[in-house]
Structure 1
Amino acid sequence: MTISARGSNNVKFSTKGRYAVMAVCDLARHDDGRPVSLAEIASRQKISVSYLEQMFAQLRKARFVKSVRGPGGGYLLAVEPAQIKISEVMTAIEHPVRGNQDDDGMFATRGCSDDPTKPLWEEVGRQVLGYLDKVTVEDLMTGRVPH
C-alpha cells in the first residue's frame, strides 16, 4: 500500500489498490450468475483493460475471483461479498514497501534504523489495516461502512 501524507490528516492509497476495490465491488454489483468481462468493468469504472488484467491476475491468485474462458467469458466472484474484507483485497494487490534491510511491510520506513518516526508509521499501518479489516465488499455494496 503506498501512502503519502497530504496535509495533516489526509492519507492517500495507490491507484492500483483503490481501483482493485472498485473493480471487485463492480463485479459484486453486476453478479447475475454470468461472467463479467473486464471490458464491461473498464467501461463502467473508467479503468484500462490492461490495468484490470494485471489486477485480476493477482485477485485470481488470491482466490477472490475466478475466470471463465471462451465466448461470454469473464470473471465471477469466488467468495461471497460478505466474506471479502477490503484489507485482504488491498494486500492481495499492493506489495509491501521495499527499501531497507529491516523492512516491516507495507508501512515500513526508509530511514535509518534509529528513525524516531518508525513507531508512528507502524501504528498508522496497524490502524488503517485494522479498520479495513472491518469493512467487507458487502458493506460497501449496501452503504453500511463502519465508523
Structure 2
Amino acid sequence: MKLSTRARYGLKALIDLGLHSANEAISLQSIAERQDISTSYLEQLMAMLKKAGLVKSSRGAYGGYQLGKPADEISVGEVLRVLEGSLEAAACPGIENDGTCHGSDVCVAKLVWKRINDSITSAVDTLMLGQLIEESRRVHEEKMESQGMEENVPDILK
C-alpha cells in the first residue's frame, strides 16, 4: 500500500494542528510554512477534513483551524479514509465488474488478500492522532536537547 501525497500532507497538517492549536485557531499559512506545503493544496485538504468533522474553522482576525474533536478520538484510519478513500491494499484479481468471482468456491488466495487488508485496517484504526502528536513532541524535544537548545523549546512543546 502506497499513500499519496494527500494522505502524507494531511497527516502532517493534523499533527501540526494538534501541536499548535491547543488554545487558538491556527492559520493555514503558518501550517504551510512549518510543514512546507503549498497553501492552496492545504486548503483542499482542510476542506475534505472539515467536511468529515476532523477539523473546524473560524473566520476573522483570529481565525484559522483547530482539530474538530480530541486527537485521541481521531484514528489514522479515519484520516486516511477521508483523504484516500478505500484502504484496500490488495483486491482479489478474480472479481468481475459486477462483483462476482467465478472461482470463489475453491479459491484460497482470497484469504491472503483478506488477511493483508484486515492487518492494514487494524493497524491504522488503532493508531490515534494523539499518539502521533505525542511522538512528534518527544522527537522535537530530544532534537532540541541533543543540540543544546532546550531553552528555546516553545512552551507548547514542554
* Cα deviation, residue 58, structure 1: 0.9
Deviations 1:22-41 (A, max 9, x none): 11110000023211111111
Of 98, 113, 120, 1:121 maps to 113
Partner of 1:75: 65
Cα deviation for residue 110 of structure 1 reads 7.5
Change (3 A) 1:131 1:125: same
TM-score (norm 1): 0.75
Instruction: Identify the residue that residue 46 of structure 1 maps to in structure 2.
Output: 36
SS of alignment partner, residue 126 of structure 2? coil
Does the CA-based 8 Å contact 1:108-1:118 persist in structure 2?
Answer: no
Q: 2:88 aligns with which of 98, 106, 118?
A: 106
> Which residue identity is paired with 2:13?
A
Deviation at 1:121, TM superposition (A): 3.3
The secondary structure found in structure 1 opposite 2:72 is helix
CA distance in 2, matches of 1:117, 1:72: 55
| More strand as a share of residues | 1
Against the structure 1 CA distance between its residues 110 and 41, is the aligned structure 2 distance closer, same or farther, given a 3 Å change threshold? Answer: farther
Percent identical among aligned pairs is 35
Give the TM-score taking structure 2 as reference length. Answer: 0.70
Partner of 2:56: 66
- The answer as to whether partners of 2:90 and 2:116 remain within 8 angstroms in 1 is no
Secondary structure at 1:43's aligned position in 2?
Answer: helix
The letter for the 2-side match of 1:50 is S
Distance 1:116 1:107 in 2: 18
The Cα shift of 1:72 comes to 2.6
State the structure with more CA Rg.
2
Distance 1:66 1:77 in 2: 6
Q: Deviations over 1:46-69 (max 9, x none)?
A: 111111111111111110110111
What is the Cα deviation at residue 123 of structure 1?
2.4
Measured on the aligned residues, the alpha-carbon RMSD in Å equals 2.2
In structure 2, distance between residues paired with 1:139 and 1:43: 23
Unaligned runs of 5+ in 2: 96-102, 137-158
Aligned length: 126
Equivalences for residues 126-137 of structure 1 within 5 A: 126-137=118-129
Task: Describe the superposition over 1:118-143 as per-residue Cα deviations: whole angstroms up to 9, x where unpaired.
Answer: 54333222211211111111111222
